[in-house]
Homo-oligomer: A and B are copies of this chain.
């Protein structure tokens, strides 16, 4: 059976894409609004950019794999122009800053929206997913990076992960200073980074054997293993690194910079981790990642400083630093840990149950009064029997059942039943909103 037939028989979203039914959407919206409120609390302002960019805007920014395999790229059949769906929110933001040169600096922006990647779909990996980015443009100072670290910690906490996570912190200059300059690994640097990046997954012996496979000298392997094995609190760790490689100017700069960051932030959840590499090409300074203790699902947030990226568009160097929260993984993790549930199936708080079709117009008025009173209200639209109306309401989990029959219509009242407390109140129509709100908040 061909694809077209399949799609006709049982229509699906495209492979790797997802629908979000109300239960999942209600949860997502609640969590995204928490992320947004933290972003705003730090004085970040919202922007939006198009889903579609010219191909040349994205080209050459992410590295080979993304560019050749992961960007949704297409030719417009009318104009022949090449377009791409945005791959992240960072490069569009860099383009945005270059387009809007009058924007006051430092520019603190957040952007919450979908991005598209031509991934091979698998569990937890989708072709369309949301990113929640906050970036500070125009400050070359570690204070900006410290603010990003603190912001990320606050977001993760606000999402319910009050402990059980850590922020891994490193600096691209440390990596370059130690591995490229001091150990002279420039030629084999990518496989080396790839090997040490796996420390978390395969342990120190695993990394050692990966490094041996690359064909490095045993003494070099020893030095790499030694440096990425240093443990301890950030201050002590940086002291050790300084003792060994402090003569290198990149290492010296990075240590001073990281010490300033650590001096400002709540460092109880921060670790300096020399095995943190991060994939993207554009990072130039500190880099960070947030990992949960459990479940082990990779990083749930990541970011760093990228002082060169905006310059590609703007023509002059504009420093920038930021982070991206991976809300999809956080939702998966929170559901797995029982922090979140999908129990809420509707936003509806009250439903008007019409006991007698003769009084439908009065019931309509009741719904109107409740809505005006700020109560999220449905009314029967199926002309069903009272029993069916009640069963439908229960299935959705609507809390208040507002009964309207001939008696209520005649008396100008409503009967409100709270399916949680099992309280029942008969009130005048004019007081229905107030009564319902009281019952909802009890």
With contacts A81-B3, A381-B136, A381-B147 taken as known, whether A53 is within 8 angstroms of B360 at the C-beta atoms is no
Instruction: Name A2-27 residues within 8 Å CB distance of B.
Output: 3-4, 7-8, 10-14, 17-22, 25-26
Copies of the chain in the assembly:
2
Of the listed stretches A40-48, A232-240, A282-290, chain B binds: A40-48
Q: Are A96 and B19 in contact (CB under 8 A)?
A: yes
With contacts A18-B50, A378-B42 taken as known, whether A313 is within 8 angstroms of B147 at the C-beta atoms is no
| Interchain CB contact (< 8 A) of A25 among B18, B46, B100, B139 | B46
| Interchain CB contact (< 8 A) of A52 among B17, B42, B144, B348 | B17
With contacts A136-B381, A364-B264, A383-B141 taken as known, whether A45 is within 8 angstroms of B19 at the C-beta atoms is no
A377 on interface, CB distance cutoff 8 Å: yes
Q: Are A395 and B57 in contact (CB under 8 A)?
A: no
Of the listed stretches A101-109, A164-172, A241-249, chain B binds: A101-109
Q: Are B19 and A99 in contact (CB under 8 A)?
A: yes
Of the listed stretches A70-78, A216-224, A421-429, chain B binds: A70-78
Q: Are A12 and B99 in contact (CB under 8 A)?
A: yes
Q: Are A346 and B43 in contact (CB under 8 A)?
A: yes
Query: Which residues of B are found within 8 Å of A351, using beta-carbon distances?
Result: 43
Q: Are A371 and B41 in contact (CB under 8 A)?
A: yes
- The size of the chain A interface, using a CB distance under 8 A, is 97
Q: Are B52 and A371 in contact (CB under 8 A)?
A: no
Q: Are A360 and B19 in contact (CB under 8 A)?
A: no
Whole-angstrom distance between the Cβ of A27 and the nearest chain B Cβ: 10
| Interchain CB contact (< 8 A) of A378 among B51, B108, B128 | B108
| Interchain CB contact (< 8 A) of A376 among B19, B43, B73, B347 | B43
Query: Which residues of B are found within 8 Å of A147, using beta-carbon distances?
Result: 379, 381
Query: A7–B56 Cα gap in the complex (Å)?
Result: 8
Query: A45–B21 Cα gap in the complex (Å)?
Result: 9
A419 on interface, CB distance cutoff 8 Å: no
A29 on interface, CB distance cutoff 8 Å: yes
Q: Are B45 and A109 in contact (CB under 8 A)?
A: no
| Interchain CB contact (< 8 A) of A99 among B13, B108, B139, B375 | B13
A392 on interface, CB distance cutoff 8 Å: yes
Query: A348–B43 Cα gap in the complex (Å)?
Result: 5
Q: Are B383 and A143 in contact (CB under 8 A)?
A: yes
Query: A11–B92 Cα gap in the complex (Å)?
Result: 10
Whole-angstrom distance between the Cβ of A298 and the nearest chain B Cβ: 23
A122 on interface, CB distance cutoff 8 Å: no
Closest to A354 in B: B143
Whole-angstrom distance between the Cβ of A119 and the nearest chain B Cβ: 11
Q: Which residues of A are interface residues toward B (Cβ below 8 A)?
A: 3-4, 7-8, 10-14, 17-22, 25-26, 28-29, 40-54, 56-57, 72-78, 81, 83, 85, 95-96, 98-100, 103-106, 108-109, 114, 116, 118, 127-128, 136, 138-139, 141, 143-144, 146-147, 150, 154, 263-264, 313, 345-348, 351, 360-361, 364, 368, 371, 374-379, 381-383, 392, 395-396
Name 16 A/B residue pairs within 8 A (Cβ), A-sorted: A13-B49, A13-B95, A18-B50, A22-B45, A25-B45, A26-B45, A28-B48, A41-B374, A42-B371, A43-B348, A45-B345, A46-B347, A51-B114, A52-B128, A263-B361, A264-B364
Further contacts, 7 of them, CB under 8 A, given A73-B77, A105-B382, A106-B381: A8-B56, A11-B95, A11-B98, A11-B313, A14-B83, A104-B396, A144-B381
